[in-house]
């Protein structure tokens, strides 16, 4: 049994729930209240010295941090991972794009606006996130003009990683009105077998 | 022949030069002047829509972006990659830690202070980077108290990824005086066969 230490509305945590569900792997979740500092307690830091969620406890009791590392680990030798070296390279490229060029703008804006519910307090920071956040959406849109999914025209963990925060981009103040390819891709991802919404926790 | 589109002082580019050299793979470099916007020209964007360096052209002419995706690709089935699923998972964990919790603080500070040479102009932003940057160094220091290298007690691409900006952290205003384990690890990385310094470009 996998145990996912998580915060339910976090897109990074949702990625892992979604893949575990689609792989039909039994798991349970433990809610960590990051607003109360529960990811920075000595007990949690002993599990993940970086003090972040999600954190995945494997069935043997070892811990793995970093949502996209979990996607890579869980998808190995499955239909959601790369089938050859070049597919794996392209998947990695998208996973690092997500964590460096997408998440810090779109997810962080969503955190301030919707999870903390303090759009006025973070007004200046939110304004700074607009241009790079829309640039990331532009990269996605351009790619999806030519491809139904991000890698090899099939649904992989690259789609899971990018879907997590893109489909709730409006909660970060990013409109998808001008991104028709992204909207169509969101529909294709939501139509995958075993898809669950971000509201669903345990299997 | 690999072609690396790069900026010589960039740690992200250095990672790839270092691994290519240690793998004894012939490569050449093409300097992209990011200060003059050369990574945002239509010609470059056609190669990498995200407009960033490094960018690696494989011998067959296809392009791969994201430094850590290049490390993963190039190290597959070599002594610098993971030998089993759990090693690969831990390597991925460190690679994502580097891009999310380390590089945005330490590399960005170095860029403002040393590459742009404008520490006064970026004074406020530099101050904001101090706490999370030192937190990342603390995570590294703690891990290295128990391990000579980051994964499985041997030198892997996880060490290459973290070494790139850690060994020049002082150029970002981060002192390693209080991090003896990191300083010892830097020496071990520099003693690896085929090591090159960040100043060395082509083979």
Interval B37-85: pLDDT, tens: 999 999 999 999 999 999 999 999 999 999 999 999 999 999 999 999 9
pLDDT value at residue A201: 82
A46 to chain B, minimum CA–CA distance in Å? 11
Position with higher pLDDT, B202 vs B75: B75
Provide the pLDDT for residue B201: 82
Residue B5 scores a pLDDT above 70: yes
For residue B144, give Cα distances in angstroms to A1, A195, B123, B182. Answer: 30, 40, 31, 7
Residue A171 is given by DSSP the state: G
List CB contacts (< 8 A) between A61 and chain B.
Answer: none
Specify the DSSP class assigned to residue A121.
T
Distance CA A197, CA A189 (A): 11
Cα B107 to Cα B15: distance, rounded to the nearest angstrom:
13
**CB-CB neighbors (< 8 A) of A101 in chain B:** 50, 52
Evaluate whether B95 touches A118 at the Cβ level (below 8 Å): no
CATH no. for B2-75: 3.40.30.10
The mean pLDDT value for B133-147 works out to 98
CB nearest B96 (choices: A49, A68, A76): A68
With 0.95 as the threshold, say if the pTM is over it: yes
* C-alpha to C-alpha distance for A73 and B57, rounded to whole angstroms: 27
Residue extent(s) of CATH 1.20.1050.10 domains in chain B:
85-190
Compute the count of residue pairs across chains A and B with CB atoms less than 8 Å apart: 90
CB contact B96 to A (< 8 Å): yes
Q: Provide CATH code, domain A85-190.
A: 1.20.1050.10
In tens digits, chain A (203 residues) has pLDDT values of 999 999 999 999 999 999 999 999 999 999 999 989 999 999 999 999 999 999 999 999 999 999 999 999 999 999 999 999 999 999 999 999 999 999 999 999 999 999 999 999 999 999 999 999 999 999 999 999 999 999 999 999 999 999 999 999 999 999 999 999 999 999 999 999 999 999 988 65
| Residue in chain A lying closest to B73 (CA) | A89
Per DSSP, the residues of A121-140 read TTHHHHHHHHHHHHHHHHHH
Query: Taking a contact as any Cβ pair under 8 Å apart, which residues of chain A between 99 and 118 contact chain B?
Result: 99-101, 103-104
ipTM of this predicted structure: 0.97
Q: CB–CB of B100 and A100 under 8 A?
A: yes
* Domain(s) of CATH 3.40.30.10: residues in chain A: 2-75
Length reported for chain B: 203
3-state class of B160 per DSSP? helix
- Residue A28: C-alpha distances to residues A2, A25, A56, A68 (Å): 6, 10, 10, 19
d(Cα A63, Cα A74) in Å, to the nearest integer? 13
Give the residue from chain A lying closest to B93, CA to CA.
A69
- Give yes or no for B9 touching A (CB within 8 A): no
Determine how β-strand A27-31 pairs with β-strand A2-6: parallel
């Amino acid at each position: 049994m996998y145990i996912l230490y998580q915060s339910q509305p976090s897109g990074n945590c949702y990625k892992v729930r979604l893949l575990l569900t689609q792989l039909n792997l039994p798991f349970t979740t433990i809610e960590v209240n990051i607003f109360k500092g529960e990811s920075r307690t000595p007990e949690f830091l002993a599990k993940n010295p970086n003090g972040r969620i999600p954190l995945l406890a494997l069935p043997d009791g070892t811990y793995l941090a970093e949502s996209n590392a979990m996607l890579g680990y869980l998808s190995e030798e499955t239909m959601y991972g790369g089938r050859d070296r070049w597919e794996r390279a392209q998947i990695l490229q998208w996973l690092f794009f997500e964590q460096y060029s997408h998440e810090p703008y779109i997810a962080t804006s969503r955190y301030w606006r919707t999870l903390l519910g303090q759009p006025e307090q973070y007004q200046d920071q939110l304004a700074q996130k607009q241009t790079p956040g829309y640039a990331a959406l532009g990269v996605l849109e351009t790619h999806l003009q030519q491809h139904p999914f991000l890698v090899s025209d099939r649904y992989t963990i690259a789609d899971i990683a990018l879907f997590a925060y893109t489909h709730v981009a409006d909660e970060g103040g990013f409109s998808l009105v001008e991104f028709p390819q992204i909207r169509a891709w969101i529909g294709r991802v939501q139509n995958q077998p075993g898809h669950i919404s971000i509201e669903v926790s345990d299997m």
